[in-house]
Amino acid sequence: MPGEHNLYKISQSSSAGRRLLIGVLLLLFVGVIGATAWTLIRGHDDAIKAASEGDAGNVAVAAQNMPLGISAQPAAGATPEQMTNQMTDLEQRLTRISVAAQTASGYANRAEAIMVAFAARRAIDAGEPLGYLENQLRLLFGNAQPKAVLTIINAARDPVTTNKLRAGLEDVNVLIKKGDPTESWWSATMRTMGSLVVVRRAGTPPPDPEQRMARARRGVEAGQIEDAIKEIAALPTQPVVAQWLDQARRYNEAHRALDVIEAAAILEPRTTPVAPAPSGQAAAPAASALATPPAGASKP
């Protein structure tokens, strides 16, 4: 039939148009995918290239910023005069560091010596043994003041304190009041009669034993042991008097020795500064030692 035949032709032409449209769309889709893939691959290559160039630039910058002390070669374009100035500056810095270190060491040693001297005085005044201070005294003052150190050590082994001197004065006072038991009655009578009338110059202290004892006590309380020794030495010779005089003299000698080492700790220099080298030859090995770490040293 003519109507059906026309409908068949129209159907065939519509199917062919749809197939053509689908083919064109597939080609466009494949083209878009290919273009996208090519763009991604090209961008990745450009990124790798840029990263490589950036790393090379960073390495170049790091090489330029590298400290001169690490490089074994001198700076490019440095003249001999500039190198000499750098070495001179380094030598001066090393000299200042050395002087500062020696000064700090001297202050520390002086402070230690003062502390040891004061601790030794406290031990002697308290009648306590020196202990470890004995070795410290020998170490710090043995070469400069050997006699003073030996006197202090001997005094600490047989200590004499102010309390002991006061007690000894009381024993001497008791002996003076009772008198010498070995003295004869005639000697005692003549001594008593001789003390009734005393002729002395104006302004001189009374020579009677009781007044001497009072002055000796005041001398001990005031720390004037030398004055107390003079007063007791004028009394009649007795074993108790001789014993007190021996103790007082040892006490006096020990404190004189303490005064000596205290003055040495404060006034005497503890270290001797080393004179700097006159030329840069002595500073060059030191500079290379600072720039080159020792063998086996751990690297940061």
pLDDT of residue 276: 46
Domain contains 239: yes
Predicted confidence band of residue 2 (pLDDT cuts 50, 70, 90):
very low
Residue 173 maps to a domain: yes
More confident residue, 239 or 102: 239
What pLDDT does residue 25 have? 54
Question: Helix 133-141 crosses helix 239-267 at what angle (to 10 degrees)?
Answer: 60
Tally of domains in the chain? 1
Residue 299, in any domain of the structure: no
2 lies in a domain? no
Least confident of 62-66, 133-137, 259-263, 264-268: 62-66
Q: Which string of DSSP letters, residue by residue, matches 86-153?
A: HHHHHHHHHHHHHHHHHHHHHHHHHHHHHHHHHHHHHHHHHT---TTHHHHHHHHHTTT-HHHHHHHH
d(CA 189, CA 149): 49
The yes-or-no verdict on residue 290 having pLDDT over 70 is no
Q: What is the DSSP letter of 296?
A: T
Q: What is the pLDDT of residues 244-269, one digit of tens each?
A: 999 999 999 999 999 999 999 888 76
Question: Is residue 1 included in any domain, yes or no?
Answer: no
| Residue 19 domain flag | no
pTM for the complete prediction? Answer: 0.53
Q: Which residues have CB under 8 Å from 172's CB, separation 6+? A: 213, 232, 235, 238, 240, 241, 244
What amino acid is encoded at 188 in this protein? A
d(CA 105, CA 87): 27
pLDDT band for position 123 (cuts 50, 70, 90): very high
Q: Report the distance separating Cα 107 and Cα 259, nearest Å.
A: 20
| pLDDT attached to residue 34 | 59
pLDDT at 130: 93
Residue 75, token pair as written in the block: 């700076």
Name, of 57-71, 77-91, 272-286, the range with top average pLDDT.
77-91
Q: How confident is residue 126, by pLDDT bands cut at 50, 70 and 90?
A: very high
Mean pLDDT of 127-145: 92
State yes or no: pLDDT of 6 exceeds 60: no
pLDDT band at 281 (very low <50, low <70, confident <90, very high): very low
Q: Is residue 119 part of a domain?
A: yes
Domain that holds residue 216: 101-192+205-267
Q: How distant, in Å, are the alpha carbons of 4, 12, 19 from that of 7?
A: 5, 9, 19
Residue 73 in this model has a pLDDT that exceeds 80: no
- Spatial contact of 258 and 124, defined as CB atoms under 8 Å apart: yes
Instruction: Examine residue 229 and state whether it is found in any structural domain, yes or no.
Output: yes
pLDDT of residue 41: 55
Highest mean pLDDT among 43-52, 80-89, 205-214, 280-289 belongs to 80-89
Distances (CA, A) of 104 to 82, 101, 108, 112, 266: 33, 5, 6, 12, 15
Greater model confidence, 126 or 200? 126
